Structure 1
Amino acid sequence: MTTPHFETLQVHAGARPDPATGARQVPIYQTTAYVFRDADHAAALFNLQEVGYIYSRLTNPTVAALQERMAALEGGVGAVCCSSGHGAQIMALFPLMGPGKNVVASTRLYGGTVTQFSQTIKRFGWSAKFVDFDDTDAVEAAIDENTRAVFCESIANPGGYITDLDAISAISNKAGVPLIVDNTTATPYLCRPIEHGATLVVHSMTKYLTGNGTVTGGVVVDSGNFDWSASDKFPSLSAPEPAYHGLKFHETFGPMAFTFHGIAIGLRDLGMTLNPQAAHYTLMGIETLSLRMDRHVENAVKVANWLEADPRVDYVTYAGLPSSPYFDRVARICPKGASSLFTFALKGGYEACVKLIESVEIFSHVANLGDTRSLIIHSASTTHRQLSPEQQRAAGAAPEVVRLSIGIEHADDLIADLDQALAKAVA
């Protein structure tokens, strides 16, 4: 049988009838530990000589089903789930970085990621260089002998800007460092970063993948395509590991080296574990991902076009608009659409943005995106509040800008809600 289509994989990948009961839906294995067959079985598991379940901080059958599904949808060889999207970013960097090492990151990132990279990772002795990824010469120039990763978002939060992944992966490959792509806003239905040269793909599964705003979760998907032993830059994966009697992850596990390291070292020591109930909710959400994303995109196109034509609006950043400088990238990077996250600027400035948010009735004012419900937020005063004014503008979160996450309601109702709120905002 040929490889199933995306719509089939989103329902079936990782899900098999439960061998004990025949249950068709993946059960929630709400357990901490697992009984070993005997002492030899236990020793083989702890030595990484056999794959199985030891303790739910490391492995759990419900979470394993989700990991298999995410790897299948992204076209990777394996995946490691963890407790949040922010956790996934640290998990992705953890085997690569070290004191004095840096990551070259896009300026167009979620505000929490900018803060994590510019402030928090300093505590590990890591650093980040922020570069405009539309300037590929600047990206290439920023990579030095201490760079251990390049990081961007496929569709950037909050502005919906689309990264030229082909150009960026060519630069990272030339430098011999992995490209990490946050694919949260696009989802694997709209964009498959591995097909454009990404080494690792991270997600906040909290967003479109789960789709219903009930749980938090993150995942790192490994392409299996990077040669971790090609240089001495990545000793965690290529050199002997003292905690496993000198085992070399890349030599032993080949394309699965990063995935095994993420579980055996990352989850073991960082403990960013995804709980099985959250994994269950996410598995159920993914079953309808393609259906929801088609509606998200359809609605976003209608709302963005209406906003762009409204005289009360200064500009709209949606990449699905022909006026967007990123419009030509949609067909190549996100052939099924530019997702449903974008911003628009009000001519009334900061105060008008605040009044608009206070006046909507269908849109929910929350710090989330990718819900079935339409969401609105003023990024400069919330998600990007910790950034300097210069950083806010670079990230697409200027004071006069409002971010929308368009849901799956009827587009006419969303437009009517924005219309009445805009009338109050600019009165």
Structure 2
Amino acid sequence: MSDRVHEFGFDTLQIHAGARPDPATGARQTPIYQTTAYVFRDAEHAAALFNLQEVGYIYSRLTNPTVAVLQERIATLEGGVGAVCCSSGHAAQIMALFPLMGPGKNVVVSTRLYGGSVTQFSQTIKRFGWEAKFVDIDDMDAIAAAIDDNTRAVFCESIANPGGHIADIAAVAKVADSAGLPLIVDNTTASPYLCRPIEHGATLVVHSMTKYLTGNGSVTGGVVVDSGKFDWSASDKFPSLSEPEPAYHGLKFHETFGPLAFTFHGIAIGLRDLGMTLNPQAAHYTLMGIETLSLRMQRHCENAQSVAEWLEKDDRIEAVTYAGLKSSPYHARVKKFCPKGASGLFTVALKSGYDGCVKLVDNLELFSHVANLGDTRSLIIHSASTTHRQLTPEQQEAAGASPNVVRISIGTEDLDDIIADLDQALTKASA
């Protein structure tokens, strides 16, 4: 008999990871633990929990059994050692940076980001005394040149929103690692089914769970996944993780918790003090969504590939950015980083310009005009006038959100219906 331990596949893990039948009732689906607090066994048990000497449940701002299942499931699917769920994708980005940064510190950031992330990094984090340095994430020399003694992380998206640009995660990770810095990758657009950044050198992975992980536009949520592979004590750059923590009688997170140091810090300090808590109902909806993640992503990719190929041949279209197209400059990266597909998100540039984009959006019938992506429904938005409106024209151009561009999130409907709707709306947009 073989002693080899069987490794479960992705489709099995997306259903079972982190979940057990409820010990009290035998319920097979993870229950929604709609409770604020938890009864301690005795005073000694309570003291051990508060002193981080024992793992358990104290208060749902910190830990909740429903959320805990979701954290373990996503960490497993991403190949991480732990995860911390929070209230939104934007919250996850702050949670990821919180243990690393401090006044006067900076993060090197890709110019190809969701517009809200560009605003968060260029404007909002200044209120913490942090700074973001924006670079072309394809230019390794520019990344290296932007890193200085005060840099504490490098940040990019695996598949950029809205343009569908695929980052060379391995190359970026090499630059970050040579500088002794963690690489944070937003994997929202790809999902762990299509891309696993940790396998290519990422230290932390963040998601807006609102998108493909939940998959039905019903909740907002975020998560930070910890690879457990970074040595937080290798330098003096990360004192929150390597030095004594006053709130816990001088406990050193990395020394005490090893690979799980970042995860424990995220809960014990991040959620405790920032309060960006995910509610258990949202966790429950996301768990149910993840059960069909692989099936949905396959259909998203199949539909997106066909729609992109159809659009690329259309005389009304100036350009299509889908990385699954052979004409895409990032097509080769699909095979390396997203071998199962390039997701369902891309942009389309119309020859009819800004006015044509407005007419297209207003005349679609099946597509929904919303500020979201990753839904089972096909979605569209004109980024330059909405999600990227606050950016300068140069920033819009760098992010792939020029005035003549619309962002399309292809759903799981019948392919013929998606194309028919686009065709009739493009006719009106080009009139």
TM-score (norm 1): 1.00
Q: Please, which runs of 5 or more residues in structure 1 have no aligned partner?
A: none
TM-superposed CA distance for 1:396, in Å, is 0.2
Q: What does residue range 13-412 of structure 1 map to in structure 2 within 5 Å?
A: 13-412=17-416
The SS at the match of 2:355 is helix
The SS at the match of 1:24 is coil
TM-superposed CA distance for 1:158, in Å, is 0.1
The letter for the 2-side match of 1:325 is P
Question: Over residues 147-201 of structure 1, what are the superposed CA-to-partner deviations in whole Å (9 max), with x where a residue is unaligned?
Answer: 0000000000000000000100000000000000000000000000000000000
2-side partners of 1:25 and 1:216: how far apart? 21
1-side partners of 2:19 and 2:367: how far apart? 35
Question: Over residues 188-231 of structure 1, what are the superposed CA-to-partner deviations in whole Å (9 max), with x where a residue is unaligned?
Answer: 00000000000000000000000000000000000000000000
2-side partners of 1:3 and 1:120: how far apart? 43
TM-score (norm 2): 0.99
Question: Over residues 379-408 of structure 1, what are the superposed CA-to-partner deviations in whole Å (9 max), with x where a residue is unaligned?
Answer: 000000000000000000000000000000
2-side partners of 1:380 and 1:187: how far apart? 25
Q: Structure 1 residue runs of 4+, over 4 Å off?
A: none
**Percent of residue pairs bearing the same amino acid type:** 82
1-side partners of 2:261 and 2:130: how far apart? 23
TM-superposed CA distance for 1:411, in Å, is 1.0
TM-superposed CA distance for 1:412, in Å, is 1.0
TM-superposed CA distance for 1:308, in Å, is 0.3
TM-superposed CA distance for 1:135, in Å, is 1.0
Q: Please, which runs of 5 or more residues in structure 2 have no aligned partner?
A: none
The SS at the match of 1:394 is helix
2-side partners of 1:262 and 1:196: how far apart? 23
The letter for the 2-side match of 1:419 is D
The SS at the match of 1:269 is helix
TM-superposed CA distance for 1:27, in Å, is 0.1
The SS at the match of 1:169 is helix
Question: Over residues 104-152 of structure 1, what are the superposed CA-to-partner deviations in whole Å (9 max), with x where a residue is unaligned?
Answer: 0000000000000000000000000000011111111111110000000
2-side partners of 1:195 and 1:63: how far apart? 25
The letter for the 1-side match of 2:415 is A
2-side partners of 1:221 and 1:267: how far apart? 15
The SS at the match of 2:237 is coil
1-side partners of 2:389 and 2:273: how far apart? 31
1-side partners of 2:391 and 2:174: how far apart? 30
1-side partners of 2:144 and 2:337: how far apart? 21
